[in-house]
């Protein structure tokens, strides 16, 4: 699976600049609202040092890293849920992504116009969140009306749905996102049938100045973002779109030297992807052979047959067993043969829950 992350934010917070930097896709970035109308899409590789280690051992014809698809979605203004500005397009594109990367401006610069006239992360976050909530409110009000009719007709299943929708409506009326509430297992099953925008996991990208990033301390703006994220169990990554733009123009060795000069261990892209994986409960397993070494993305808790299905549906349909060795054992034993000689290659069945870093060969028959 490929992680689809939608980059959103008010106009002129640096989201298109950040998108350009991490994807090198050349999306237009300009100092005025609504520069981005149709979403630009860029696919980037997930940085994983384990791929290089495996490739040095296996010597494959090619290396295939996992990928993340970033979608740069049009800027948002108040009233989007009612179609103001580019609201309808914005909301429709949000429905298609797995997670939202909300770029929040956390720096002062008189040369860069802010659509609201001044920098206020709390207000900016609330503006976008409110539009998502209002769109959700409209959706559940229609569904609640239908569910209440079913309840009156004696439909027992409608009782739980009415209670859930009523709980959501009350939360939305208070300005709370769906993701901030807790749910029973029964409610979670109903939620799978409702496409709620405010249920989407959010990763806040606090866009700071170069000085703040290299200093490594969170300024007062970032602290406000952190407080909001903590309340709703979201993630925060401090980035500098300007620095990411400079990194994007460098070769690999130059990138590392540039980061070291700034006193940084890794790029903002690395931090964003790691945080997004954690937010969505994702992990990686590998296939390694002479043709290719490849990283595959799955959700934590995925069992072997479903992991096999990410490679090909036939692998899941005809799953027999999985030959599994951990990454650490594979490396320590000098490869698959060494691990097998030490009895470290396991035969796992349909109930095996995959672990991060597993190196797998699936047996199947269709």
User: How confident is the model over 106-129, as pLDDT tens digits?
Assistant: 998 877 766 667 889 999 999 889
Torsion of CA 110, 270, 69, 112, to 10 degrees: 0
Whether residue 228 has pLDDT greater than 50: yes
- Whether residue 85 is found in the same domain as residue 152: no
Alpha helices in the chain (DSSP H): 15-23, 49-58, 87-94, 121-152, 157-173, 185-191, 210-215, 220-231, 241-248, 252-261, 268-280, 304-311, 313-317, 327-332, 336-341
- As a whole number, mean pLDDT of residues 179-189 equals 91
Angle, alpha carbons 76-79-81 (nearest 5°) = 85
Which residues lie below 8 Å from residue 140, measured CB to CB, with a gap of 6+?
165, 168, 169, 172, 194, 196
Which residue numbers belong to the known binding site?
12-17
Mark whether 237 and 177 lie in a shared domain: no
Spell out the residues 6+ positions from residue 280 whose beta carbon is closer than 8 angstroms to its own.
3, 98, 99, 201, 299
What CATH number does residue 232 fall under?
Answer: 3.40.50.300
- Classified as helix, coil or strand, 262 is coil
Q: Classify residue 292: in a domain, yes or no.
A: no
Residue with tokens 């549906």: 313
Residues 37 and 58 in one domain: yes
Same-domain status, 144 and 266: no
pLDDT tier at 88 (50, 70, 90 boundaries)? low
Q: What is the pLDDT of residue 148?
A: 87
Are 87 and 207 contained in the same domain? yes
Residue range 191-220, pLDDT digits in tens: 999 889 999 999 999 999 999 998 888 999
pLDDT grade for 30, boundaries at 50, 70 and 90: very low
Decide if pLDDT at 310 tops 50. yes
Q: Does one domain contain both 47 and 73? A: yes
Q: What is the pLDDT of residue 37?
A: 43
Q: What is the pLDDT of residues 128-165, one digit of tens each?
A: 898 889 989 988 998 998 888 888 887 777 889 999 99
Mean pLDDT of the 279-301 span: 95
Give the residue ranges of the annotated binding site for ATP: 12-17
- Of the two residues 263 and 116, the one the predictor is more confident about is 263
Q: Does residue 234 contact residue 201 with C-beta atoms inside 8 Å?
A: yes
Query: What is residue 115's predicted lDDT score, i.e. its pLDDT?
Result: 66
* Percent of the chain whose predicted confidence (pLDDT) is above 90: 52
DSSP 203: E
| Token reading at 358 | 């597993």
Q: Of the ranges 27-31, 71-75, 112-116, 233-237, which one carries the lowest mean pLDDT score?
A: 27-31
pLDDT at 79: 56
Q: Which tokens go with 331? A: 């490396």
Which tokens go with 169? 């409506």
Residue (of 100, 61, 346, 323) closest to 229 by Cα position: 100
Q: Of 166, 181, 198, which closes a domain?
A: 198
Which residue in 283, 287, 281 sits closest to 354, CA to CA?
A: 283
- Please count the structural domains in the chain: 3
pLDDT band at 27 (very low <50, low <70, confident <90, very high): very low
pLDDT at residue 86, rounded to an integer: 43
How many CB atoms are closer than 10 A to CB 116?
16
Q: Are 17 and 60 part of one and the same domain?
A: yes
Pick from 62-76, 230-244, 259-273: least confident: 62-76
Higher pLDDT, 22 or 185: 185
Nearest to 195 by CA among 96, 276, 277, 125: 96
Pairwise CA distance, residues 214 & 187, whole Å: 45
Report the C-alpha gap between 338 and 327 in whole angstroms.
13
Domain range enclosing 312 = 301-364
Q: How far is CA 317 from CA 45, 341, 348, in A?
A: 29, 30, 16
Same-domain check for residues 210 and 268: yes
CB 297 within 8 A of CB 347: no
The three-state secondary structure class of 45 is strand
Residue 337 sits in a domain whose CATH number is 3.10.20.30
Looking at every residue in the chain, the average pLDDT score rounds to 87
Q: Are residues 86 and 36 in the same domain?
A: yes
């Amino acid at each position: 699976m490929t992680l689809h992350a939608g980059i959103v934010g008010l106009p002129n917070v640096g989201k298109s600049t950040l998108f350009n930097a991490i994807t090198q896709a050349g999306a237009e970035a300009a100092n005025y609202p609504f520069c981005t109308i149709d979403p630009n899409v860029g696919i980037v590789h997930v940085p994983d040092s384990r791929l290089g280690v495996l490739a040095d051992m296996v010597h494959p014809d090619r290396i295939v890293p996992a990928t993340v698809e970033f979608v740069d979605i049009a800027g948002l203004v108040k009233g989007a849920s009612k179609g103001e500005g580019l609201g309808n397009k914005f909301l429709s594109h949000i429905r298609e992504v797995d997670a939202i990367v909300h770029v929040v401006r956390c720096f002062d610069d008189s040369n860069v116009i802010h659509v609201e006239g001044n920098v206020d992360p709390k207000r900016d976050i609330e503006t976008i969140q409110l539009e998502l909530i209002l769109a959700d409110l409209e959706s559940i009000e229609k569904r609640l009306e239908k569910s209440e009719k079913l309840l009156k007709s004696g439909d027992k299943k409608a009782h739980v749905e009415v209670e859930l929708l009523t709980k959501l409506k009350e939360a939305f009326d208070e300005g709370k996102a769906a993701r901030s509430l807790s749910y029973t297992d029964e409610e979670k099953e109903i939620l799978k049938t409702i496409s709620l925008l405010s249920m989407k996991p959010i990763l806040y990208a606090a866009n700071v100045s170069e000085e703040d990033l290299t200093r490594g301390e969170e300024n007062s703006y970032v602290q406000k973002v952190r407080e909001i994220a903590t309340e709703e169990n979201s993630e925060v990554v401090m980035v500098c779109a300007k620095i990411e733009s400079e990194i994007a123009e460098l070769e690999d060795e130059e990138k590392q030297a540039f980061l070291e000069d700034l006193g940084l261990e890794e790029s903002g892209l690395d931090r964003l992807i790691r945080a997004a994986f954690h937010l969505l409960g994702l992990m990686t397993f590998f296939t390694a052979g002479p043709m290719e070494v490849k990283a595959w993305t799955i959700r934590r808790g995925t069992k072997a047959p479903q992991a096999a299905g990410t490679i090909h549906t036939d692998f899941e349909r005809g799953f027999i067993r999985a030959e599994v060795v951990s990454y650490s054992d594979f490396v320590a034993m000098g490869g698959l043969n060494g691990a097998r000689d030490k009895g470290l290659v396991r035969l796992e069945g349909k109930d095996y829950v995959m672990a991060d870093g597993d190196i797998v060969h699936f047996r199947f028959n269709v």
